[in-house]
Amino acid sequence: MVSNGRYGPYVKRGSETRSLESEGQLLTITPVEAEAVLAQPKERRGRGAPKPPLKDLGPDPSSGKPLVVKDGRFGPYVTDGETNASLRRGDDVDGLTLERALELLAERRAKGPSQPRRRTMSGTGRPAPRDDGTQAPEGGIRHLTHALRVCDTVYRPDLVERTEKRA
């Protein structure tokens, strides 16, 4: 059976479904072609298989781990399998040397792990309770600076007083 569904045309047999390439196939596909489409493995969407490395730089002299350049969501990066370091604007994948890759990884290791994001109560945008159980002050200095930035042409003492009382 062929049909045009919510996500496009497809062919179905029992509970097995496969997408068709175009809506024109709804009228032209033969039973043999439909069987062939159903015999193919389902195409997975999303991340899929990992991409192969863009360049292999060889083993790390100190640890022996292989250094490779990969293409990530935010651009190319060099990795030893444990630490990742983004390439800088002036760096080129083809021109990247082992020494420069080691330099980038050393800088990244010296920075340490990234700081965890600040938690908020879901859906409210307000800060979550602190680890000691107390609630963070709502607004605080951020409200004041925002208010002054928005109202930089007009001085509003009542707004400043309200903000100071919250903090």
What's residue 131's pLDDT? 67
Query: Are 63 and 105 in a shared domain?
Result: yes
Classify residue 67 by burial, with Cβ atoms within 10 Å: 0-12, 13-18, 19+.
Answer: buried
Mean pLDDT of the chain: 80
Q: Does residue 61 form part of some domain? A: yes
Q: Does residue 44 form part of some domain? A: no
Give the residue, 151 or 25, on which the prediction is more confident: 25
What's residue 153's pLDDT? 45
Q: Does residue 82 form part of some domain? A: yes
Give the residue, 133 or 7, on which the prediction is more confident: 7
Boundaries of domain holding 150: 138-167
Q: What is the spatial distance between Cα 97 and Cα 86, in angstroms, rounded to a whole number?
A: 14
Query: Are 61 and 34 in a shared domain?
Result: no
Q: Does residue 120 form part of some domain? A: no
Question: How many C-beta neighbours within 10 Å does residue 93 have?
Answer: 14
Query: Are 22 and 65 in a shared domain?
Result: no
Query: Are 106 and 63 in a shared domain?
Result: yes
Which DSSP string do the residues of the chain spell out, in sequence order?
Answer: -EEEETTEEEEEETTEEEE-S-TTHHHH--HHHHHHHHHSPPPPPSS-SPPPPSEEEEE-TTT-PEEEEEEETTEEEEE-SS-EEEPPTT--TTT--HHHHHHHHHHHHHH-SPPPPPPB-TTT-SBPPPTTSPPPPSSTHHHHHHHHHHTTTS--HHHHHHHHHH-
Give the residue, 158 or 141, on which the prediction is more confident: 158
Number of domains forming the structure of the chain: 3
Q: Does residue 48 form part of some domain? A: no
Query: Are 35 and 62 in a shared domain?
Result: no
Query: Are 30 and 61 in a shared domain?
Result: no
* pLDDT digits 0-9 by tens, 24-74: 888 899 999 999 999 988 877 766 677 889 999 999 888 888 999 999 889
Query: Are 64 and 96 in a shared domain?
Result: yes
What lies within 8 Å, CB to CB, of 11 at 6+ separation is 1, 2, 17, 18, 20, 29, 34, 37, 38
Q: Does residue 20 form part of some domain? A: yes
Residues across the chain? 167
